[in-house]
Structure 1
Amino acid sequence: MDIKGFKHAVDTLKLYHRIKNDDLNVASYDDADDIIEELYVDLLPNLGIHEQMLTNETTFLIGRKGTGKSTIFARVQHTIRKEKKNLSVYINAKSVHELSKVSNISTDLRALEGVLNKEEIRRLLLLRNFLYAFEDSLLEELKYEKYGFFEKISNRFRDKKLQTCINELKKLIEEPELINISNAIHQQDTSTYTNEAINEIKVALQNSGVNYKGSLKHGNTQEKQTSNILARYFNMANIIDNLKKIIEICGRNKMYIFIDDFSELEKEDMISFVDAIISPLYHLAKDFINLKIACYPNRIYYGDLDIGKYKNIYIDIFHIYGKQNITALEKSAIDYTKRIINNRINYFCSSNVEDYFDTTRTSMEDYYKLLYYGSMNITRVLGHILHYCWLTNISQNKKINKQAIEEACEQYYLDYTKNYFDKSRYSKGIFDDKLDIFVQENLLEALIKEAQKNKIRLKNTDNSYFKDLDVVPTSHFMVSSELENLLGSLEFNGFIHKVNELASKGDSNSRKKNATNSIYAFDYGLTIHEKIKYGKPEDKDSKFYQQRAFDYTQLVLSTLMNNKKIICQECGKEFPIEELDILQRFKMKCDNCSNGICKIEYDRQLKQEVQAHIETAIWSPDELEIIYSIYLLSKNTKGDKVTATLIAQEIDRTHQFVARRCKELAEAGFVLRNGHTPFVYSLTEKAIETLKHMNLIS
């Protein structure tokens, strides 16, 4: 049994970031680039996802956290370098976003502080930092000569023509038109041009009347003019012309721009980012630039991109495997789990995969099924589950058994999923956002209670699917597909997972002729913790999941109606909560009166409870995330020093961001900084007691 190899394999699975040299114990960029080809496991046969990402169109790669979007990007970039036909650039939007929060405004733009507010300044910094990141990534790619970027230009590091273009690009990025406006303000220039420019920038940064979810009327001239304002002040048209020259000089056909963690941007930042950067690249450079953007479901802003001329690729299990039935989905998903486990163990370990599992009572196929249930094809979750198994079994020279996996699934649920509500409850935040989180918690509790009641009640019914069972499995439930948006937050945060969609049996509650129901599964770790039996009996077919007793549509509606309502502020008309998605598409305009705008109104008692928590909160969400990760890392790692880098890997932040926050937390008496740079962090008794008070630890 190769204990170290198994740990290394598992650690690469649970990474929160794109695989780097340090993760693979390799010294050079070249070696890491080769290894990614060996470690990559595609969700589809014949590299199906990989091949779709290489098409000549703007593509949004959509999946929840941990589904492998960054790894897909890395693999596609490897192919681009290897084929020597195109250039590629990679930017992590989240890292750029964090930098904009902690960096100070440069001297050449400081005069803008007199005319723009703090948030507007930060948003301009975000856009400028993105262009800096783009410049750095492109220059790094041009230096990367293994695949011969310069073989057609005299094989030198750069010839004079390319160097000229690079210098022009640097100047365009580092000296935007925005600097001229700042200089004019500094010189107290009150000309019409300066005043108009300031007003234009302020309007563009306010993003007034834009639908964040991208369901606006695409192609509207006024919207395109608005989106071009910021682009103009950042020299985007000239930058695009320059990129075309660089592509031609390097003898390449196109440039692929990979933008990772796009949905980590805040709402207003996302809109500014798309309007100022993405939109010009899309409209002015679509013939020679391909945009590839990684994002989360329901957190996408398309701006004025043309409908039908970009592609959405979804990589969550339902969209990949669930178009037929649950049985087919499970077969494909289990196969993926098997392929990725075998791939990592074969690469990092000197032992076979069977050497790590106790097969005296449980077959390897059953282990793969259990690990699929626990991870739902979310690679990062699979890595964490196997890490717990390493801690409890492999590190002690014991093979993994069924109990170890089940305990690992439950522990992951307790450490990373369940505490989502407690962390939201006890941290600072926006009132409306926290209200909705409380509503989601109430909804989850209602769903769990119904499942717990049904596991006993249903066995006493006449239904042939239930009556011969001692305990009925109630891990799966149905709701009308019209309500999917209301369950989106629970699914995104890992409490439930969509696994199938089927035609409704004509329930009178649906207003649509071709109505469908969506089938969800509770998280496997949740079912273990809440003592809900998972799956279906082996002697029952998949129609087991479709029984009317599992239709929770009315339960969802009644629970939500008790917590929030949609009411027109003009005429007072109340709308059913299931019509929220439709209303949002029409900017919440009332269909009963001409001027009315509808708003969500929450239960008064709920609002009072949320307000009380906000007033007593002592940590921001980022601070609480860092403190809790220090606790988990101290508990779950053996011998690893808890540094800013390790914390950053755990919570998907930059180490600079973590180090700055830890310094502030140390000054407040919650964190100890031990030794010298890099500091090793631990929690004070004050922090431990606060976490206990929050019910985050026992």
Structure 2
Amino acid sequence: MSLFLMSLSENIEGAFKSLMQSGRPDVIDEKRNNITPDIYVDLFKNNYVLRQVLDDNHTLLKGRRGTGKSTIFVKAEDHIKNNIHDALPIYINLQTCYEEIRTSNSDIKNSDLTNLTTYKNFLTEILESIKNKLPIHISNEEEVEVLFRSIRNGDYIDADFQRMAEQSKNALNENTYGDNKNFILRELNEIRIFSIHTILKRIQKILKRNNIYKVYLFLDDFSELNEESQRAVIDSLIAPIISSYNETFKVKIAAYPGRVSLGNADATKIVPVPLDFYDAYESSTANYPGVEKAAINYIRRTLEKRLEIFTQNQIFISDIFEITDHLSLDDYLKKLFDCTSAIPRSLGYILNYCYLASINNGMPINMLHIDNAAIKYYEENIHADFINDARFKQSFYDDKTLLDQVAQKNLMDEIVKYLYNLKRDTVESFTKGTLSTKLFQKTLQKKGSNYWLPTSYFYINKKSENLLKTLELYYIVSKHNEGSVRGAMEGKVSYYCLNYGLCLAHKIDFGRPAGRRKYDYWRHSDFNLTDYIPKVLSNIEIIICKNCGKEYNEVEYDIYQTSKNCFQCTKNNTVKKRNKFEDKLETKIAEWKQKSLPNAHVSVLRLLYNNRESELSAYQIGELVDKHHLTITNTMKTLSNKGYAKFRIKNKRYYSITSASISEFFSDSIDHYYE
């Protein structure tokens, strides 16, 4: 078997790496054919999720990074092109559109006037994308050219938008901008930049004349936009389509859970389709074991399909694992579920890390390979992305600006510390003979010189779970279940689990005991962090007068609210709740803003940082960030000129990150801000 594995090792590697792709995942075979539609695997039987994207409803795909949102869009596009001849699929990457506009305006002083202009240009870019996706014989029609010339000229700009832009311009000219700023920002959320109905009717008329009666708008990377930009898209384009009962345009949005703002759109007319395993399967199964079983089955089907396509049915899923009398294929699939939460991209990374130590040497993957890969994936990808993300993606559920990157890092550390100490203190009590908790007494196992006591799961009142949404976005925690607990706690609780690799890296035992105790175990009161998590977050804020520096406690702050005059300096409206780490963070934020690098450039730098022990070609970088290698070559030229990247020529250029880039972007990172 070892020789057989080695003979097809490159094919297996291709199967694993195809799962790692980000952005629009056009998977190419050795003949340069796009095989993404062939390798598509749906979360449910009978392609349920795909059918939701193809139906006549407006749809919101909600899933974290790597859950397959873009792959679903690619599969849907392919189906429409081959089977629905009176329909037109239009794929638009909103982040790319916005970045191109933002970069072109980067030399203009940032102001709300610039923002208004940016949003107008952004929406124009989206409409241009629609034009560019029209069949050539339609896009070349004179009526189309006239329509889009008018759009570019601003003939369809809404009167309210023109009024706001003019007010903003006048405010700047009269140096009274500060007085008008709040008004401008408030109004921005209400205006519609384009008189979109007229534009859509013109497009609709042209399409019907060419026997196209339905247009699917696949809007990808919606959550990469900030909340204000999302509302500009929704209020100017999406809400008018939905409210007009337009029968031609079907809106399909891909977004992260917890990072979606639907603005003025009627949310009841947008069908949410969750892709994260618990949210996806909880309504179709009777209990949590059913959810887990469905998720593991999805992992199995995903791997089977990739191996089938990439090895032409020569390698089966059981061939790539070290199956023994004590370890079955199901054991390996359960382990992969623990490591990845059934996220396809995470699955690809874990298996690709396993590949070098196993299949590349002619050996099947064993459990130790997976554990080592999980640690490596956490440290080099999950944790690195969370700590060093200059464009931090924060959940919109965070109701305070305090729940920023520093607070989230602090929260993660405190949860890890709590769960680690829970095991340590329990073992210490056990060895002293003072442990009274029978559930823990029955669970503790001696393994070598250490004790095994899993403390990887915890729960929080469902009303408070929004506090964990940002950590969930970054895969630090994942939701596994909802239920009730014994005692005085009212309502449901939500059960979460720490990232598997994080647990191994911090010596936290992962899992739960087998049998009947499994359910009782994760409901134990020691895993209740409902009061602990808000306490952690409250400890990172201070209430202070920004004028004189007087600090307030909560009681004093409540009294202050009646007059809004500082007790010490008497200045009005100067006392604010402030992140105690904010002063240390402001310098770093200013550096990031000053660099004004597009998200695509920051993504490349993060990739080079995470792979700083090696060198990558433009083609390799392009595969991992889903950009054409020529685009990457241009990006690397810019980064090299700025001193952020360097290259070495062998048969071609191989790039790596510079020490200057590490110093500016990644050293002295968030880890050190609250030491």
Instruction: Give the TM-score band, short-chain normalised.
Output: 0.7 to 0.9
What is residue 64 of structure 2 aligned with on the other side?
Answer: 64
Q: Which residue of 2 aligns with 1:275?
A: 235
Which of 322, 328, 333 aligns to 1:358? It is 322
Pairwise CA distance, 1:535: 1.0
Residues 1:87 and 2:88 aligned together: yes
Is 1:520 the counterpart of 2:465? The answer is no
Residue 201 of structure 2 aligns to which amino acid in structure 1? D
Alignment match, 1:446? 414
1:298 equivalent in structure 2 = 258
Partner residue of 2:145?
Answer: 170
Instruction: Kindly indicate whether residue 59 of structure 2 is the aligned counterpart of residue 54 of structure 1.
Output: no
**Conserved? CA contact 2:64–2:473, under 8 Å:** yes
Quick one: which amino acid aligns to residue 89 of structure 2? S
SS at match of 2:531: helix
Give the counterpart of 1:414 among 366, 370, 379: 379
In the alignment, structure 1 residue 131 sits paired with structure 2 residue 108: no
Q: Secondary structure at the match of 1:231?
A: coil
Q: Contact (CA 8 Å) 1:13, 1:380: kept in 2 or not?
A: yes
1:321 is aligned to 281
Q: Corresponding residue for 2:508?
A: 532
- The unaligned stretches of length 5 or more in structure 1 are 144-157, 183-191, 213-222, 576-589
Aligned partners of 1:391 and 1:636 also within 8 Å: no
AA partner of residue 446 (structure 1): E
Which range is displaced more, 551-560 or 318-327?
Answer: 318-327
* CA contact 2:647–2:656 (8 Å) conserved in 1: yes
Q: Structure 1 residues 600 and 318 mapped into 2: Cα distance closer, same or farther (>3 Å)?
A: farther
Q: Partner residue of 1:564? A: 541
State the alpha-carbon separation in 1 of the partners of residues 578 and 521 from structure 2: 36
- Give, as a single letter, the amino acid of the residue that structure 1 aligns with 2:96: S
**Judging changes above 3 Å, is the alpha-carbon distance between structure 1 residues 597 and 475 closer, same or farther for their aligned structure 2 residues?**
farther
Q: Deviations over 1:392-412 (max 9, x none)?
A: 222222221100011111100
Aligned-partner Cα distance in 1 for 2:249–2:545: 45
Aligned to 1:208: 185
SS at match of 1:383: helix
- Paired residue for 1:199, among 166, 169, 172? 166
Normalising by the residue count of structure 1, what TM-score does the alignment of the two structures yield?
A: 0.77
> 1:187 maps to what in 2?
none
Alpha-carbon deviation of 1:534?
1.0
Q: For the structure 1 residues 396 and 195, does the alpha-carbon distance in structure 2 shift closer, same or farther, using more than 3 Å as the test?
A: closer
Q: Does 1:474 align with 2:455?
A: yes
SS of 2:61's partner is: strand
Give the secondary-structure state (helix, strand or coil) at the position aligned to 1:419: helix
Matches within 5 A, 1:452-463: 452-458=420-426, 460=430, 461-463=435-437
The 1-side partners of 2:160 and 2:320 are apart by 71
Deviation at 1:83, TM superposition (A): 2.4
For residues 165 and 662 of structure 2, what CA distance do their matches in structure 1 show?
A: 49
- Is 1:683 matched with 2:660? no
**1:245 counterpart = 2:205:** yes
Deviation for aligned residue 1:690: 6.6
Deviations 1:238-271 (A, max 9, x none): 3312332244234344221111111112332222
1:347-392 CA-partner distances (Å, limit 9, x unpaired): 1013222222111352211111111111111111111111111122
Cα distance, 1:481 vs structure 2: 1.0
Residues 532-558 of structure 1 deviation map (CA, whole Å, 9 limit, x = unaligned): 111112233322211111101111121
**Contact map agreement 1:172 1:238 (CA 8 A) in 2:** no
1:549-569 per-residue CA deviation (whole Å, 9 max, x = no partner) reads: 110111112111111379999
Distance 1:336 1:626, change over 3 A: same
**Counterpart of 1:607?**
582
Aligned to 1:377: 342
> Which residue is equivalent to 1:386?
351
Letter of the aligned partner of 1:122 in structure 2?
T
Q: Write the distance in 2 (CA, Å) between the matches of 1:485 and 1:568.
A: 29
For structure 2, the 5+ residue unaligned runs are: 170-179, 395-399, 446-451, 547-551, 566-571
Deviation of residue 90 (structure 1)?
A: 1.1
Structure 1 Cα separation of the partners of residues 139 and 391 of structure 2: 53
**Residues 634 and 355 of structure 1: CA distance in aligned 2, closer, same or farther (over 3 Å):** farther
Which position in structure 1 is the counterpart of 2:172?
none
Measured in 2, the distance between the counterparts of 1:451 and 1:27 equals 49
SS at match of 1:272: helix
Q: What value does the CA root-mean-square deviation take over the aligned residues?
A: 4.1
- Structure 1 residue identity aligned to 2:87: N
SS in structure 1 of the partner of residue 438 of structure 2: coil
Q: What amino acid is aligned across from residue 52 of structure 2 in structure 1? A: Q
What corresponds to 1:12 in structure 2?
Answer: 18
Instruction: Quote the offset at 1:446 in angstroms.
Output: 1.2
Residues 627 and 531 of structure 1, relative CA distance in 2, 3 Å threshold: same
Whether 1:343 aligns to 2:339 is: no
Residue 301 of structure 1, CA deviation: 2.0
Q: Does 2:643 match 1:669?
A: yes
- Whole-Å Cα distance in 2 between the matches of residues 114 and 65 of structure 1? 30
One-letter amino acid matched to 1:547: H
Aligned residue among 205, 223, 242 for 1:263: 223
The alpha-carbon deviation at position 695 of structure 1 amounts to 7.1
Q: SS at the partner of 1:479?
A: strand
Q: 1:689 to 1:375 in 2, by over 3 A?
A: same
Measure the CA separation in 2 of the matches of 1:71 and 1:181: 34
1:121-143 Cα distance to aligned partner (Å, 9 max, x none): 33332222211111112x2xx36
SS of 1:418's partner is helix
Q: Distance in 1 between matches of 2:156 and 2:650?
A: 44
Q: 2-side partners of 1:346 and 1:598: how far apart?
A: 65
Q: Which SS does the other structure have where 1:520 is aligned?
A: strand
Q: Shift in Å at residue 207 of structure 1?
A: 6.6
The CA distance in 2 between the partners of 1:388 and 1:94, in whole Å, is: 29
Find the aligned partners of 2:221 and 2:253 in 1 and give their Cα distance. 8
Q: Secondary structure at the match of 2:459?
A: strand
| 2:362 aligned residue | 397
Give identity over the alignment, percent. 25
The alpha-carbon deviation at position 611 of structure 1 amounts to: 3.2
Kept after mapping to 2: 8 A contact 1:480/1:518: yes
SS at match of 1:208: helix
Superposed structure 1 runs of 4+ greater than 6 Å apart: 112-116, 192-195, 200-207, 425-429, 432-435, 565-569, 590-600, 615-621, 653-657, 689-692
Say if 1:472 and 1:533, in contact at 8 Å, map to a contact too. Answer: yes
| Structure 1 range deviating more: 685-694 or 461-470 | 685-694
Indicate conservation of the 8 Å contact 2:62/2:272, yes or no: yes
Residues 564 and 68 (structure 1), Cα distance of their counterparts in 2 relative to 1, 3 Å cut: same
1:37: how far off? 3.9
Q: Which amino acid aligns with 2:507?
A: K
Tell whether the 8 Å contact from 1:374 to 1:523 is kept in structure 2 after alignment. Answer: yes
Distance in 2 separating the partners of 1:634 and 1:527 = 24
CA distance in 2, matches of 1:194, 1:496: 42
Q: Find the aligned partners of 1:692 and 1:200 in 2 and give their Cα distance.
A: 41
Q: What is the alpha-carbon distance in structure 2 between the residues aligned to residue 64 and residue 691 of structure 1?
A: 25
What displacement does 1:521 show?
0.5
SS at match of 2:186: coil
Which amino acid in structure 2 is aligned with residue 414 of structure 1?
A: E
Distance 1:561 1:294 in 2: 33
Distance 1:63 1:681 in 2: 32
CA 631–17 in structure 1, closer or farther in 2 if over 3 Å, else same = same
- Aligned-partner Cα distance in 1 for 2:651–2:187: 45
Closer, same or farther in 2 for the Cα pair 1:265/1:167, shift >3 Å?
Answer: farther
